[in-house]
């Protein structure tokens, strides 16, 4: 890990989650929180206490206190050509760490980035119960927990490489208060850890799933993608894409309705690639099994968990796995080996510096060839002179 990733920090709010909810975003120029060294006690410039808000216009509880926390950020550089990204719906952080299942997986696989969904905890519990004390010191953890219901939802990113910025939520209050999305910006890509809400076994929440969640989440993905970097989406997407992804009858289970599948196909059509299916088009593997029905031993499951990569990053996809040998949850991990430096690989370069030299030489060579066939335009002459 690059040492330069350890020397920056920034303060972020978990959100001023009132009627006009906005995403809590970490950047390298955020002001420090109350109580930090640069804020004097009683100063007029000291930030006011976070408000307690009550939104009567929502059908769910939105009463909570905004919490400001200190987060560490870095350069976003991932100095490896085989970045190991893992995503796992752990069905409760306290339960899985009490059994030591998550620690054993982490120790065995040593992912560079681990995305968790359905953590079912609060930031207070993480701190007071030291639920993350097992994480090696070279890793940094970012949690987005539900603020409206205990033991519900929640996502996290645990990374060896500190990102440039971290953003909580997607700008839609109903789901942002449930802690379902974290977006982390790295030098060569943006990473999103998410937990998509289920429509219910009787499809009672299907309309809100499609018309509210999918509409807003897809818009968030488009906004992140517009930044110009490849986007990697990890998490329990609660959708069954194809017949090969489900045991039993399609359309019978949550996530397998026509509307959910059509919405997912639309997302893929907008420029996202299912990394596992891209490399393994005919392999039948599941990532979820009913614990209540004891379906895992007989492998009657569904593939709800994905790692998607935008078309711009397709050349970085090297390997993709569904780890059916790891236990500890009703889901299993899904994994991706990704080369964030595939642009260097294409040019046969081992470093940025070598790529710059190569591009300069190629640019100069083109300019010289143009001279031989009849001269240069003014702009081309400048390129040739700077190259030589």
Question: Of the listed 112, 176, 214, 236, which one is catalytic?
Answer: 236
Q: Is the pTM of this model over 0.85?
A: no
pLDDT for the residue 315: 97
**What is the per-residue pLDDT across 7-36, written as a single tens digit (0 to 9) for each?**
343 333 333 333 333 344 444 433 333 233
Give, for 224, the enclosing helix (H) or strand (E). helix 215-225
Percentage, residues of the chain above pLDDT 70: 71
Q: Is the pLDDT of residue 378 over 60?
A: no
Q: CA 206, CA 319: separation in Å to the nearest integer?
A: 33
Q: Which CATH entry fits the domain spanning 73-344: 3.60.10.10, 3.30.930.10, 3.40.30.10, 3.40.50.300?
A: 3.60.10.10
Q: Other CB atoms closer than 10 Å to residue 344's CB: what's the count? A: 18
236 given a catalytic annotation: yes
| DSSP string across 7-64 | SEEEEEES---STT---EEE-TTPPPPTTSTTS-TT-TTSPPPPPEE--TTSSS---E
Place 202 in a pLDDT band, splitting at 50, 70 and 90.
confident
Tell me phi and psi for residue 240, to 5 degrees. Answer: -105, 115
Question: Of the listed 14, 139, 195, 304, which one is catalytic?
Answer: 195
Q: Is the pLDDT of residue 57 over 70?
A: no
Q: CA 194, CA 87: separation in Å to the nearest integer?
A: 10
Q: What is the DSSP letter of 178?
A: T
Place 93 in a pLDDT band, splitting at 50, 70 and 90.
very high
139 given a catalytic annotation: no
Whether the Cβ atoms of residue 149 and residue 61 lie closer than 8 Å to each other = yes
**What is the per-residue pLDDT across 60-84, written as a single tens digit (0 to 9) for each?**
333 333 344 567 899 999 999 999 9
Higher pLDDT, 95 or 345: 95
Segment 137-159 shows an average pLDDT of: 96
Give Cβ neighbours of residue 298 (< 8 Å, ≥ 6 apart). Answer: none
Q: Residue 365 is encoded by which pair of tokens?
A: 């060579």
């Amino acid at each position: 890990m690059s040492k330069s990733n350890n020397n920056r920090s920034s303060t972020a709010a978990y959100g001023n989650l009132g009627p006009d909810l906005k995403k809590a975003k970490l950047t390298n120029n955020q002001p420090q929180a109350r109580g930090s060294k640069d804020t004097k006690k009683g100063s007029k410039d000291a930030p006011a206490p976070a408000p307690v808000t009550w939104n009567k216009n929502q059908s769910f509880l939105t009463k909570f206190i905004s919490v400001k926390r200190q987060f560490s950020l870095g350069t976003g550089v991932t100095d490896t050509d085989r970045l190991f990204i893992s995503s796992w719906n752990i069905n409760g952080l306290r339960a899985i760490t009490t059994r030591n299942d998550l620690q054993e997986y982490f120790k065995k696989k040593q992912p560079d980035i681990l995305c968790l969904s359905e953590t079912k905890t609060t930031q207070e519990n993480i701190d007071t119960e030291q639920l993350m004390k097992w994480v090696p010191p070279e890793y940094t953890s970012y949690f987005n927990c539900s603020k409206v219901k205990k033991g519900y939802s929640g996502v996290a990113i645990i990374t060896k490489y500190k990102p440039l910025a971290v953003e909580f939520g997607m700008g839609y209050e109903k789901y942002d208060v449930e802690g379902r999305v974290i977006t982390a910006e790295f030098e060569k890509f943006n990473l999103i850890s998410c937990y998509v809400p289920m429509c219910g076994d009787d499809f009672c929440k299907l309309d809100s799933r499609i018309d509210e969640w999918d509409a807003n989440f897809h818009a968030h993905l488009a906004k992140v993608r517009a930044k110009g970097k490849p986007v990697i989406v990890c998490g329990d997407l609660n959708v069954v894409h194809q017949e090969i992804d489900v045991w039993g009858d399609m359309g019978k289970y949550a996530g397998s309705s026509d509307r959910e599948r059509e919405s997912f196909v639309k997302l893929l059509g907008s420029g996202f690639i299912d990394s596992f299916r891209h490399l393994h088009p005919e392999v039948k593997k599941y990532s979820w099994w009913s614990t209540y029905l004891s379906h895992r031993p007989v492998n009657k499951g569904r593939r709800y968990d994905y790692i998607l990569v935008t078309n711009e990053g397709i050349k970085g996809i090297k390997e993709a796995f569904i780890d059916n040998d790891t236990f500890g949850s009703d889901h299993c991990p899904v994994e991706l080996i990704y080369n964030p430096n595939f642009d260097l690989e294409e040019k046969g370069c081992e470093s940025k510096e070598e790529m710059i030299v190569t591009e300069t030489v190629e640019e100069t060579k083109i300019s010289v060839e143009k001279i031989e066939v009849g001269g240069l335009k003014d702009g081309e002459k400048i390129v040739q002179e700077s190259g030589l």
